[in-house]
Amino acid sequence: MVWRDAQDVDRYWLNAVLHEEGAWTAGTFGDVTIELIGAEFGLAGQCYRVSGATDSGPTSIVVKYGKAEIVDRVRAFHKLAGSRLRGQIPQFYGGWTDAQAERGLLLLEYIEHERQGDVLEGCSEADALALVRLLARLHGSLACPDESTLPAVFPRWTPTPMDDEKWEDRLERATSRYPDLLSTGIGLRLRDAPQRFEAEVAPLRTAPVTLIHRDVHLDNVLFRADGSPVLLDWDGVSIGPGAADLARVLAEGTSLASAHQSLAGLLAAYLEEVRKAGASDANLSDLTAYVNAAMVPHLQGAIAWAGAPGNDSLLKTRVLALRRQLLERMCDWFEG
């Protein structure tokens, strides 16, 4: 059978895959219902809530459909980090890939009754602090001085400058769309950004590497009743400097990107937690340099998105709002 998406799942296939991994303990599913979830928050892949009665009572799980290489990568991540981050990432119950179709499915914990993060709404300083501490536990416990010890399914994240012609086009389009943000000041300073890119990201070339999420923003976070975060959507998990995630949190994951007075507290909390997790050589001076360097590719990404070709009238209102907000936050950061 060729699987088109997660709606092709039936209870027979579901029970077979769930019991293959050994992590599932709720028994056998009877008939199931399937509903699309997460679409409004742009979760990568197609995510569905699959619900039905099991031996333990009514139960739901998440079935996520995506490319086979991503399914294999996420499976490897959960096998490596699942026990260390239990309760802070969704539990992994199983996965399946179709080599011929190059597609696959993941079976994950469905987390009920938690508060959904929202990039547009932002978050409290307490939420930001909890998220930064979660990242530090991830980065510290999965630090890898020898990258060869990690499974080959994890790609290497490497900051790369946009070529001059493309950059000029994207910056011109972005300035036309957002003249209030880019027509003066930072917009003028960005003209030669590709030429300065390598020098500005240089600290990242020697930064310690670990496994990183690569897409840490509030739409990918649930908050439990006690305020502890659960980080979703590990499709992009890669090898790279932890500062890449930390910069992403500051740029997109919180409402604090322009609040430099809050930065010291967040970095201090990250250092405290990452040291507990095993990174004893971490220090504030290096971390600050790494975060500032990691902001440079995020600024480039914000300009590329703001200046992408296309008709704005075809984009959803939320997408337009997210695009402007990211650009505004990045401009604030570099002008702060």
Q: Please write the tens of the pLDDT for every residue from 15-45.
A: 988 988 888 999 999 999 988 887 666 544 5
Q: Comparing 37-41, 160-164, 274-278, 302-306, which segment has the lowest mean pLDDT?
A: 37-41
pLDDT band at residue 320 using 50, 70 and 90 as cut-offs: very high
Q: How far apart are CA 186 and CA 330, in angstroms?
A: 10
CB atoms within 10 A of CB 336: 11
52-67 average pLDDT score? 91
Question: What band does 1 get if pLDDT is binned at 50, 70 and 90?
Answer: very low
- C-alpha to C-alpha distance for 63 and 290, rounded to whole angstroms: 36
Q: Is the pLDDT of residue 178 over 80?
A: yes
For 145, phi then psi, to 5°, come to: -55, -30
What was the pLDDT predicted at 6?
Answer: 60
Q: Is the pLDDT of residue 258 over 70?
A: no
- Per-residue model confidence as pLDDT tens digits over 107-140: 999 998 889 999 999 888 899 999 999 999 999 9
Average pLDDT score over residue span 272-285: 84
pLDDT classification of 260: cutoffs 50, 70, 90: low
Above pLDDT 70, what percent of the chain? 93
Q: How does pLDDT run across 299-313, given as a tens digit for each residue?
A: 999 999 999 999 999
Average pLDDT over every residue of 87-101: 90
Which domains are present in the chain? 6-112 (3.30.200.20), 116-335 (3.90.1200)
Residue 247: per-residue pLDDT: 93
Q: Where are the alpha helices (DSSP H) in 1-53?
A: 11-21
**What per-residue confidence (pLDDT) applies to 2?**
47
The whole-number pLDDT of residue 263 equals 84
Quickly list H helices, the chain: 11-21, 68-81, 125-141, 164-177, 179-182, 186-189, 193-205, 242-248, 260-276, 284-306, 317-335
Euclidean distance between CA atoms 204 and 293, whole angstroms: 7
